[in-house]
Amino acid sequence: MDTVSVVTDTLLVAVSQAPTAGTNTWINPLWTIASTIGTLLVAVAALLYSVWAGRQQQEHDRLMVKPILTFYRQVASDKPAGVYVGNNGLGVAEVVELRIGYRGRVYNMCEVESMRSFAAVLLQQTGLNLAMGHMDLPHHIMPAEGRLEIVGTTRDSAYARTAFKEIACFAKYKSIYGEIHTASLLPWDPATPNPLDSTRK
């Protein structure tokens, strides 16, 4: 028998004795376990990414409709004095509470009688009738709607400017997702006591 025939016969025997699919050898169980673990890891990674992407999208959606209320105080000598509120955010603000603090007292600007009391106090101190911006709750302030007047005067007055520098404001409002936000306006002089400090929660 020549060398070529011996080699050929040896290879044929080796191939015939090699493990085949379904044979109970150590190779097939390890491959099955490794394949299963790999599949599970890919599935878990895909699930984690899906959860992360979903939360990122929710956060993006909330930011896209988040309202941002800001108070403004007009006390320049060349314009009528006033206090205003505006929505600088991208979503609708649903105002659920609006209060004014002035010289030790707190006034609810969503209650007519409280507004009248506040107007009477300022009339006595400034001698001016005030324009009051009453809000029926819930009141919705649209984005870029412009400044809404809370309290103001129709003409320039040094007395009104002095009084309005003491005014503090607090608003509580919600986004369309029901998230609660707040906005504040502190007295012009930090040394001025703020009666709203004891009412905010």
Between 110 and 177, name the one with better pLDDT. 177
Same domain, 80 and 174: yes
**CA count, 13 A, side-chain hemisphere, 56:** 6
Q: Among 38, 63, 88, identify where a domain stops.
A: 63
Domain boundary among 11, 46, 63: 63
Query: Which residue range forms the structural domain that includes residue 52?
Result: 3-63
Burial 127-155 (b: 16+ CB within 10 A, else e): ebebebbebeeebebebeeebbbbbbbee
Residue the block writes with tokens 């990414």:
49
The pLDDT assigned to 170 comes to 93
Whether the per-residue pLDDT at 25 is higher than 60: the answer is no
Write the CA distances from 94 to 70, 107, 172, integer angstroms: 14, 20, 9
User: Taking the CA atoms of the chain, what radius of gyration do you get in angstroms?
Assistant: 37
Number of domains, the chain: 2
Which residue blocks in 65-154 are alpha helix, DSSP H? Answer: 112-126
pLDDT tens for residues 140-156? 888 877 677 777 776 66
Provide the token pair at 176.
Answer: 């369309």
| Joined tokens for residue 25 | 């050898």
The CATH number of the domain holding residue 86 is 2.60.40
pLDDT one-digit tens code per residue, 165-197: 888 999 999 999 889 999 999 988 877 777 777
**Chosen domain end from 31, 63, 95:** 63
Whether 174 and 194 share a structural domain? yes
Comparing 180 with 26, the larger pLDDT belongs to: 180
Average pLDDT over residues 112-118: 84
Amino acid at 5: S
Contact indicator for 130, 152 with CB cutoff of 8 Å:
yes
pLDDT of residue 137: 65
* Model pLDDT for residues 4-24, shown as the tens digit of each residue: 443 334 333 333 444 455 555
Q: What is the pLDDT of residue 27?
A: 58
Identity at 115, one-letter amino acid code: M
User: 164 with 102, same domain?
Assistant: yes
